[in-house]
């Protein structure tokens, strides 16, 4: 049995009723059902389907790039450049890694204090000429992000390697010829 007065009981009932109405109201306002109000558009990821399903080909390398900029033209250029960088990294990439450890201890016995510091730095450099790399997929997300896929023929990589080898061979032959002329010049000048 309750020893509360009628006024106190009314306050409790009123507080409980208001709490129930607030919970119901907040629940009704917060449920969106996965759609925007007045729209049939689904609130899902804005990345294109091909973004997470990279193409696999015996004839092409693919690179993916994305950019979100205020200027759409700049976004497209940056995304394309990032995709080409991805291909260049697949062709050849020089990776340099460095780990630095520093340890110091000072003091005696139980008063000794140790300091330890570690740092890891990795740099990846890629320098390739990608003649003929072209974007074959383009998509613009709901938030303005530009997604680009660039493809590059694997046969062109082989051509570039052969061309580079021929160039290196020509440079080496030129160097050897220069050395031979230097030796001949020395012999002639020593006489």
For 154-176, what is the mean pLDDT? 72
| pLDDT-wise least confident of 56-65, 100-109, 182-191 | 182-191
Residue 85 CA to residue 130 CA, distance in Å, equals 10
Radius of gyration for the alpha carbons in the chain, expressed in angstroms and rounded: 35
Helix residue ranges, H only, 31-131: 72-91
Q: How many CB atoms lie within 10 A of CB 2?
A: 7
| pLDDT-wise least confident of 11-25, 103-117, 120-134, 155-169 | 11-25
**Residue in the block written with tokens 């300091």:** 115
Query: What is the helix (H) or strand (E) element at residue 181, kind and residue range?
Result: helix 154-190
For 84-111, what is the mean pLDDT? 80
pTM score of the predicted model: 0.47
Residue 92 CA to residue 126 CA, distance in Å, equals 6
Q: Where are the domains of the chain?
A: 49-172
What's the pLDDT score for residue 153? 85
Residue range 113-151, pLDDT digits in tens: 888 888 888 776 666 677 778 888 888 988 889 999 988
Q: How many CB atoms lie within 10 A of CB 92?
A: 13
Is-contact 168 147, C-beta < 8 A?
A: no
């Amino acid at each position: 049995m309750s020893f509360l007065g009628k006024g106190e009981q009314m306050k409790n009932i009123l507080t409980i009723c208001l709490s129930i109405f607030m919970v119901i109201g907040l629940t009704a306002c917060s449920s969106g059902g996965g759609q925007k109000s007045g729209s049939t558009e689904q609130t899902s990821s804005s990345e294109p389907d091909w973004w997470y399903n990279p193409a696999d080909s015996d004839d092409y390398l693919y690179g993916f790039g994305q950019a979100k900029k205020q200027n759409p033209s700049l976004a497209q250029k940056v995304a394309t450049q990032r995709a080409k960088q991805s291909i260049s990294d697949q062709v050849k990439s020089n990776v340099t890694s460095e780990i630095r450890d520093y340890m110091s201890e000072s003091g005696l016995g139980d008063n000794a204090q140790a300091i330890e510091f570690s740092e890891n730095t990795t740099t990846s450099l890629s320098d390739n000429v990608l003649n003929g790399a072209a974007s074959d997929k383009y998509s613009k997300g709901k938030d303005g992000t530009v997604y680009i896929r660039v493809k590059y023929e694997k046969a062109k990589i082989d051509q570039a390697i052969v061309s580079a080898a021929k160039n290196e061979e020509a440079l080496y032959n030129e160097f050897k010829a220069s050395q031979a002329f230097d030796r001949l010049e020395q012999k002639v000048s020593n006489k």
